[in-house]
């Protein structure tokens, strides 16, 4: 015990900046947040938060997410678990590239600058990340494994090349993933997005849609909103499918959600992304029209609108219970409804179909001799979550490890040749992709035949980098350069015990679930047999300002750093936890922050002199309860202990903050009542106050760790509170009101 505790205090003044800096240094020196080596009697708990883009400063969304994660990590450490809690930075991609350009730095310089700056900001907030394990995805020792993952997924057919329709931002001059398109606009610059045709690398997300949807019912430890977000992204629709027949006997499988109304079908709609579209678009002129849709005729925003672009293929199909053969139309509206499939159009039941029927003028029906067929209807499911493109025409990304040989065609780079390094001398300021003009990068011998060949100049979308971020964190940094995916520590830490993610990152989580299943099926990740990388998940809503999402281009961003400097890290943490249940978004205002800053100050002014005057470790059970007031105080302490413990275990941090504030009120009330009755506190009363305060600061320590640590030292606590054992309610529970059942977590003793 420490030189630290011997700091002289002005006990009347709460000075958050001084004590917060002091404890942040002390925690680092004591390595309280380092993931410990395995011990037979300790549970392993892996707390995972989603990676930030390294495009600038920490924002309020990070603060909310990481404070919730940190409170849980600190709580589990005190419960005796070996905790892994660290952070990977999503460092590749356009946001970093553009921000680097704006700041006159190379992307690599910018990323390392942002990592240092954001780590300092998270450290200043008291987030107890294992700093040794923090990584940036643009580090070659990390992205070589993104390339390895690419090759693995390519080998098993989950990554494929496809000359398809992709979404293009004219301003950013790049193809976008679905996730990067919001309301038909580029996520970054808000330029309306249009379709273009291009050979792209795609991730076969559809291969795991069914398992990812079915497993949701088993994820009983996920928050309801986290499950709902997965369901919404998967866009699962149940219905039936049946066969329709072309004049030449060709079969088209058609989907509908109205099995009872098949007879009312008036046309069949094909998504432009329907896998068999080529079979149905070969009539003269149709290919051109389809190309037009893809090259800009079909603005993405049209998709859901009535009267969306429709192409008549000129072809008809016969459906057994429909008297007339139905025209086959191509419509982008299908994707937004049921994904890349063939859909029966029923104008009498569906508004979009009605709008199409109103604008579509039917060609005369061809002479038709229908074969007599039975309608065979099968239950079927369709998913909106389609395969998506994972290649980008920008240089700030992991090079796709593929070589084009004139003789051998597409040749994967051998695993032992990874990483394919990104050149350091790229001119990132020019238009388009500088890798396309970098001869030293492009020219290479074919890995198969040795003849001159060319490297792929597209780079991997950062969604792939982010789709396995939980794995590098579980491996010690020195071991990452060799055999990361085979490392024994993955067995120890996976699946992740607790995921905390924001409502805007559900798509990332779905990708992580997909990659985990793909790796399991490739016999790489056998430690998660059900392919689910997250045992528990909490999704929190966003922090808004004046009812709107905070965003740079709306100019309504609050800088957390300024709040921390003004009010202290503990007040910001406590306020963001208190403000709302995780499932609720809330509009930030300084009211809650001022309230919390005042609470912590009042707590300090009450607790510091009392603990300093009575610095002995007093257990709650040592309170002499012969007196009725002391007995009541003991009961309220026991209730608070139970409730806060249960709140923290359930990540109901807003409830934990309220229960702590309530306990403080009881404590003040106790003193006032005793003094009102007897004029002054007896020694036993003072002991009871000190014991109750020491309990309170322990309950507070995951939420506002700095003030809790300082008060713990003043009260004569042993060691650091960050390492101290979590308090249990007294064994004698007769004093407890009946409704307070012991929480399951209380059985844990260290």
* Nearest-approach distance from CB 243 to Zn ion, in angstroms: 42
How far does CA 69 lie from the centroid of its chain?
12
CB neighbours of residue 714 within 10 Å: 25
Beta strand segments in 368-451, E: 378-383, 388-389, 391-392, 402-405, 409-412, 443-445
Q: Whose Cβ is closer to Zn ion: residue 378's or residue 553's?
A: 553
Q: Which of 32, 127, 158, 172 binds Zn ion (CB under 5 A)?
A: 172
* Nearest-approach distance from CB 447 to Zn ion, in angstroms: 8
* Nearest-approach distance from CB 414 to Zn ion, in angstroms: 13
* Nearest-approach distance from CB 192 to Zn ion, in angstroms: 10
**CA 686/CA 614 separation, integer angstroms:** 8
* Nearest-approach distance from CB 176 to Zn ion, in angstroms: 7
Q: Whose Cβ is closer to Zn ion: residue 120's or residue 554's?
A: 554
Asked if 407 interacts with Zn ion (CB under 5 A), we say: yes
* Nearest-approach distance from CB 173 to Zn ion, in angstroms: 8
Pair 560, 569: CB distance under 8 Å = no
Q: For every residue of 16-64, which 3-state class applies, written as one string?
A: HHHHHHHHHHHHHHHCCCCCCCCCCCCCEEEEEECCCECCCCCCHHHHH
* Nearest-approach distance from CB 390 to Zn ion, in angstroms: 18
Stretch that binds Zn ion, among 99-107, 364-372, 438-446, 467-475 (CB under 5 A): 438-446
Q: Whose Cβ is closer to Zn ion: residue 446's or residue 644's?
A: 446
Stretch that binds Zn ion, among 131-139, 166-174, 239-247, 571-579 (CB under 5 A): 166-174
Stretch that binds Zn ion, among 96-104, 171-179, 376-384, 688-696 (CB under 5 A): 171-179
Helices 224-234 and 506-521 cross at an angle (nearest 10°) of: 80
Asked if 675 interacts with Zn ion (CB under 5 A), we say: no
* Nearest-approach distance from CB 553 to Zn ion, in angstroms: 11
Q: How far apart, in Å, are the Cα atoms of 59 and each of 52, 167, 465, 546, 557? A: 10, 28, 22, 16, 8
Stretch that binds Zn ion, among 183-191, 284-292, 526-534, 671-679 (CB under 5 A): 183-191
Give the angle subtended at the CA of 398 by the CAs of 393 and 403, to the nearest 5°: 75
Give the angle subtended at the CA of 519 by the CAs of 446 and 108, to the nearest 5°: 60
Give the angle subtended at the CA of 238 by the CAs of 233 and 241, to the nearest 5°: 125
Stretch that binds Zn ion, among 147-155, 309-317, 439-447, 482-490 (CB under 5 A): 439-447
Reading the block at residue 709, the tokens are: 């640590």
Asked if 444 interacts with Zn ion (CB under 5 A), we say: no
**Number of residues that this document lists for the chain:** 750
Distant-in-sequence, close-in-space partners of 22: CB < 8 Å, separation ≥ 6? 4, 7, 710
Q: Whose Cβ is closer to Zn ion: residue 173's or residue 373's?
A: 173
* Nearest-approach distance from CB 201 to Zn ion, in angstroms: 20
Pairing verdict, β 135-136 and 88-89: parallel
Q: Whose Cβ is closer to Zn ion: residue 186's or residue 611's?
A: 186
**CA 541/CA 502 separation, integer angstroms:** 6
Q: Which of 118, 175, 186, 311 binds Zn ion (CB under 5 A)?
A: 186
In degrees and rounded to multiples of 5, residue 336 shows phi and psi of -70, -20
Q: Whose Cβ is closer to Zn ion: residue 191's or residue 365's?
A: 191
Asked if 405 interacts with Zn ion (CB under 5 A), we say: yes
**CA 55/CA 216 separation, integer angstroms:** 33
**CA 650/CA 532 separation, integer angstroms:** 20
* Nearest-approach distance from CB 268 to Zn ion, in angstroms: 35
* Nearest-approach distance from CB 508 to Zn ion, in angstroms: 19
Asked if 169 interacts with Zn ion (CB under 5 A), we say: yes
Q: Which of 1, 120, 156, 189 binds Zn ion (CB under 5 A)?
A: 189
What x/- string results for residues 447 through 466 when contact with Zn ion is judged by CB under 5 A? -xx-----------------
* Nearest-approach distance from CB 185 to Zn ion, in angstroms: 8
Q: Whose Cβ is closer to Zn ion: residue 296's or residue 615's?
A: 296
Asked if 99 interacts with Zn ion (CB under 5 A), we say: no
**CA 487/CA 470 separation, integer angstroms:** 13
Q: Whose Cβ is closer to Zn ion: residue 186's or residue 252's?
A: 186
Q: How many of the chain's residues bind Zn ion (CB under 5 A)? A: 13
Q: Whose Cβ is closer to Zn ion: residue 308's or residue 453's?
A: 453
Q: Is 505 exposed, middle or buried (0-12, 13-18, 19+ CB in 10 A)?
A: buried
* Nearest-approach distance from CB 407 to Zn ion, in angstroms: 5
In degrees and rounded to multiples of 5, residue 108 shows phi and psi of -65, -40
Q: Which of 2, 39, 171, 732 binds Zn ion (CB under 5 A)?
A: 171
Stretch that binds Zn ion, among 112-120, 129-137, 188-196, 299-307 (CB under 5 A): 188-196
Q: Whose Cβ is closer to Zn ion: residue 449's or residue 744's?
A: 449
Nearest to 397 by CA among 445, 340, 338, 462: 462
Asked if 408 interacts with Zn ion (CB under 5 A), we say: yes
Stretch that binds Zn ion, among 258-266, 306-314, 443-451, 468-476 (CB under 5 A): 443-451
Give the containing element (helix H, strand E) for 545.
strand 543-545
Stretch that binds Zn ion, among 10-18, 231-239, 248-256, 399-407 (CB under 5 A): 399-407
* Nearest-approach distance from CB 90 to Zn ion, in angstroms: 18
Q: Whose Cβ is closer to Zn ion: residue 191's or residue 430's?
A: 191
* Nearest-approach distance from CB 179 to Zn ion, in angstroms: 14
Pair 244, 326: CB distance under 8 Å = yes
* Nearest-approach distance from CB 189 to Zn ion, in angstroms: 3
Asked if 446 interacts with Zn ion (CB under 5 A), we say: yes
Q: For every residue of 196-226, which 3-state class applies, written as one string?
A: EEEEEEEECHHHHHHHHHHHHHHCCCECHHH
Q: Whose Cβ is closer to Zn ion: residue 408's or residue 661's?
A: 408
Q: Whose Cβ is closer to Zn ion: residue 240's or residue 403's?
A: 403
**CA 297/CA 585 separation, integer angstroms:** 38
Stretch that binds Zn ion, among 118-126, 441-449, 648-656, 659-667 (CB under 5 A): 441-449
Q: Whose Cβ is closer to Zn ion: residue 171's or residue 491's?
A: 171
Distant-in-sequence, close-in-space partners of 84: CB < 8 Å, separation ≥ 6? 35, 44, 45, 46, 47, 130, 133, 473, 474, 493
Among positions 521-580, residues that touch Zn ion (CB under 5 A) are none
* Nearest-approach distance from CB 97 to Zn ion, in angstroms: 12
For residue 326, the cross-strand partners are 317
Q: Whose Cβ is closer to Zn ion: residue 405's or residue 663's?
A: 405
Pair 703, 660: CB distance under 8 Å = yes
Among positions 195-234, residues that touch Zn ion (CB under 5 A) are none
Pair 463, 472: CB distance under 8 Å = no
Q: Whose Cβ is closer to Zn ion: residue 173's or residue 616's?
A: 173
Q: Whose Cβ is closer to Zn ion: residue 182's or residue 407's?
A: 407
Q: How far apart, in Å, are the Cα atoms of 525 and each of 87, 489, 517? A: 21, 12, 8
Pairing verdict, β 82-86 and 88-89: unpaired
Q: Which residues bind Zn ion (CB under 5 A)?
A: 169, 171-172, 186, 188-189, 191, 405, 407-408, 446, 448-449
């Amino acid at each position: 015990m420490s030189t630290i505790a011997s700091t002289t205090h002005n006990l009347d003044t709460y000075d958050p900046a001084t004590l917060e800096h002091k404890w942040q240094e002390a925690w680092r020196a004591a390595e309280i947040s380092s993931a410990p080596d395995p011990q037979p009697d300790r549970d392993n708990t892996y707390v995972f938060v989603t990676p930030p883009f390294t495009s600038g400063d920490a924002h309020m969304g990070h603060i909310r997410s990481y404070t919730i994660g940190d409170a849980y990590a600190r709580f589990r450490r005190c419960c005796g678990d070996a905790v892994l809690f660290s952070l990977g930075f999503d460092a590749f991609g356009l946001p970093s590239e553009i921000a680097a350009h704006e700041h006159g730095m190379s992307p690599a310089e910018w990323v390392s600058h942002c990592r240092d700056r954001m780590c300092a900001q998270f450290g200043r907030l008291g987030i107890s990340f294992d700093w040794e394990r923090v990584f940036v995805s643009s580090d070659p020792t990390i992205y070589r494994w993104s390339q390895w993952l690419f090759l693995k997924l390519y080998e098993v057919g989950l990554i494929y090349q496809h000359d398809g329709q992709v979404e293009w931002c004219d301003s950013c001059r790049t193809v976008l993933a679905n996730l990067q398109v919001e309301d038909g606009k580029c996520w970054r610059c808000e330029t309306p997005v249009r379709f273009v045709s291009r050979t792209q690398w795609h991730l076969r997300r559809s291969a795991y849609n069914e398992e990812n949807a079915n497993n949701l019912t088993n994820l009983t430890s996920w928050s309801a909103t986290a499950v709902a977000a997965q369901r919404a992204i998967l866009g699962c629709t149940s219905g039936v499918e049946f066969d329709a027949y072309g004049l030449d006997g060709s079969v088209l499988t058609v989907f509908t959600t109205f099995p009872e109304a098949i007879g009312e079908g008036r046309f069949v709609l094909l998504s432009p992304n329907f896998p068999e579209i080529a079979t149905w678009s070969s009539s003269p002129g149709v290919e051109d029209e389809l190309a037009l849709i893809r090259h800009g005729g079909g603005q993405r925003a049209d998709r859901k609108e009535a009267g969306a672009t429709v192409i008549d293929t000129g072809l008809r199909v016969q459906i057994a219970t429909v008297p007339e053969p139905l025209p086959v139309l191509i419509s982008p509206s299908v994707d937004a409804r049921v994904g890349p499939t063939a859909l029966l159009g029923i104008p009498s039941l569906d508004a979009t179909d009605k709008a199409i029927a109103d604008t579509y003028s039917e060609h005369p029906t061809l002479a038709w001799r229908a074969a007599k067929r039975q309608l065979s209807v099968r239950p079927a499911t369709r998913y909106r979550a389609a395969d998506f493109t994972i290649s980008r025409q920008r240089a700030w990304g992991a090079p796709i490890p593929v070589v084009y040989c004139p003789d051998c065609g597409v040749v994967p780079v051998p695993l032992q040749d990874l990483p394919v390094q990104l050149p350091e001398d790229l001119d990132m300021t020019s238009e388009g992709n500088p890798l396309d003009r970098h001869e030293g990068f492009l020219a290479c011998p074919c890995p198969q035949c040795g003849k001159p060949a060319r490297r792929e100049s597209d780079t991997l979308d950062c969604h792939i980098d982010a789709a396995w971020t939980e794995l590098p964190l579980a491996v010690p940094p020195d071991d990452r350069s060799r055999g990361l995916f085979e490392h024994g520590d993955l067995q120890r830490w996976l699946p992740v015990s607790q995921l905390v993610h924001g409502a805007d990152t559900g798509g990332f989580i779905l990708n992580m679930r997909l990659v985990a299943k793909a790796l399991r099926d490739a016999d790489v990740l056998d430690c998660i047999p059900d392919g689910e990388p997250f045992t528990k998940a909490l999704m929190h809503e966003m922090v808004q300002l004046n009812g709107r999402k905070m965003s740079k281009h709306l100019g309504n961003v609050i800088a957390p750093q300024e709040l921390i400097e003004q009010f202290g890290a503990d007040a910001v943490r406590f306020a963001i936890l208190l403000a709302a249940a995780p499932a609720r978004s809330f509009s930030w205002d300084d009211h809650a922050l001022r309230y919390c800053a005042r609470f912590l100050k009042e707590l300090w002014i009450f607790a510091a002199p009392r603990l300093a005057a009575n610095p002995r470790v007093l257990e709650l059970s040592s309170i002499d309860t012969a007196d009725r007031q002391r007995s009541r105080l003991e009961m309220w302490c026991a209730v608070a202990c139970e409730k806060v413990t249960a709140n923290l275990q359930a990540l109901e941090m807003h409830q934990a903050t309220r229960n702590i504030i309530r306990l403080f009120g009881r404590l003040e009330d106790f003193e006032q009542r005793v003094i009102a009755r007897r004029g002054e506190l007896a020694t036993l009363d003072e002991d009871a106050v000190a014991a109750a305060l020491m309990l309170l600061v322990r309950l507070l320590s995951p939420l506002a760790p700095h003030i809790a640590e300082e008060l713990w030292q003043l009260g004569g606590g042993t060691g650091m509170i960050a390492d101290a054992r979590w308090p249990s309610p007294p064994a004698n529970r007769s004093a407890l009101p009946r409704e307070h059942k012991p929480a399951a977590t209380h059985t844990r003793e260290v």
